[in-house]
Amino acid sequence: MALQRPGSPSGLDRRRQALLPVMQLVAPADCCAALLEGGPGFLEFVLAQDLGPLWHHRLQAAGLLDSLPAASADALRAARQAAAAGYLAHRWALAQVDALFAAQDIAYVVIKGVHVRECVYPDPALRPASDMDILVAPQDRRRAAQVLMDNGYAAQVLPNNVSFEASFRQGPVDIDLHWAMLREGRTRVDLTAGFLARRQQTHGVWGLCDSDAVFMMLTHPAFGKYVCSPQMGLGRVADFLQWIQHKPVDWPAVQALLAAAGLKTAGWAMLGWFGTLGQPDVNRMMGAWRDSLRPGPVRAAYLQRWLDHDLPTRLWPRERFMQLAFTLYLHDRPADMRRVLRGVWHARRHRLRDARLLMGDDYEWTPLQR
């Protein structure tokens, strides 16, 4: 197929090229040509986006690795080997967590990349993950945290993220224990109970059902660092593009979830973002979905300007500004926006409350050791 290569001062073209191995209709020879044309700087970008294993897979399967400079082929091979080692460590840890939580009757579900890679990647080890995200019911969070700590995981509880998750580490494995999908106030209704009730197993992993997984991919990146950061975005885009090319999507079910959460506008914006980075064949697949979520004309024009000019990436260091100027308008109604602002205003109090619910009434903040 003919590749879409519009120039852009904001680097959108480079990001589109980095995603070429995800696209089924892009020939491996075109991937190889893009890597050769881009040179060491482009390869470095691909590796920084954790897409090296996918590039290695596509080129190796087509017998094209030898067409690359030896240093480039070695770098892709090393990325794939590192991803495979990380995957094995995560699978071991998941088996341990599954047994530990089952013994304590704690229901859980694996979310985000560690779940998606089991569902739609030709080899799940092709999708690196820096940590494992596990969701439990809010009433189970303290017991789940205690189980992890009793079995060698060190708590890494931070003031800026404890409002819906906390981190635990043992050796090379980081577990982010969630009791909500997003910070307090971001969703109109609590989603955790439904996610747990509809969970299903894939390759021995308790994961989200398909509609919940698509909902998560259309909402969580909108409020995190993934869409808005020039360094950390394409893995989540790759997840979504892989999904819609390999799995049927029950769009009415996804649309109903977005409406119930008050996040149809967020879904509309993310589909626009994915379309900006995809190729024409998958963009056509997403067009009707996006039209069904379109917000009012003023809000749509405002958010589209952000996406067209790559403003989320370019303005990312101003986190507070981003939170209010971009993400606030991803909520569907003024009442939803007011709820978010109340959550922002009371954020520190909520974080301390949740930290003590998680770790005990006398808990004090400790720095994260990275």
In this structure, which amino acid lies at residue 148?
L
Range of 343's domain? 88-359
**What are 109's strand-pairing partners?**
135
pTM: 0.89
Residue 323 falls within a domain, yes or no? yes
Confidence at residue 349, expressed as pLDDT on a 0 to 100 scale: 65
Mean pLDDT per segment of 10 residues, for the chain of length 370 residues? 38 86 93 94 94 97 96 98 97 96 97 95 95 95 94 78 80 93 84 96 92 95 63 81 94 97 95 84 85 95 85 66 80 90 70 67 54
Helix (H) or strand (E) holding 200: strand 200-202
Residue 23 falls within a domain, yes or no? no
Residue 82 falls within a domain, yes or no? no
**What distance in Å separates the CA atoms of residue 258 and residue 285, rounded to the nearest whole number?**
19
144: domain CATH number is 3.30.460.40
Eight-state DSSP code of residue 37? H
Residue 25 falls within a domain, yes or no? no
In angstroms, the first-to-last Cα distance of the chain is: 43
**What distance in Å separates the CA atoms of residue 352 and residue 358, rounded to the nearest whole number?**
10
**What distance in Å separates the CA atoms of residue 308 and residue 353, rounded to the nearest whole number?**
40
Cβ neighbours, 10 Å, residue 145: 22
61 Cβ partners below 8 Å, 6+ apart? Answer: 28
Q: How many residues does the chain have?
A: 370
Residue 43 falls within a domain, yes or no? no
Residue 196 falls within a domain, yes or no? yes
How many domains is the chain built from?
1
Task: State whether residue 286 is helix, strand or coil.
Answer: helix
Residue 364 falls within a domain, yes or no? no
Query: Tokens for 60?
Result: 């190796």
Residue 344 falls within a domain, yes or no? yes
Residue 284's alpha-carbon distances to 103, 245, 309, in angstroms, are 47, 12, 21
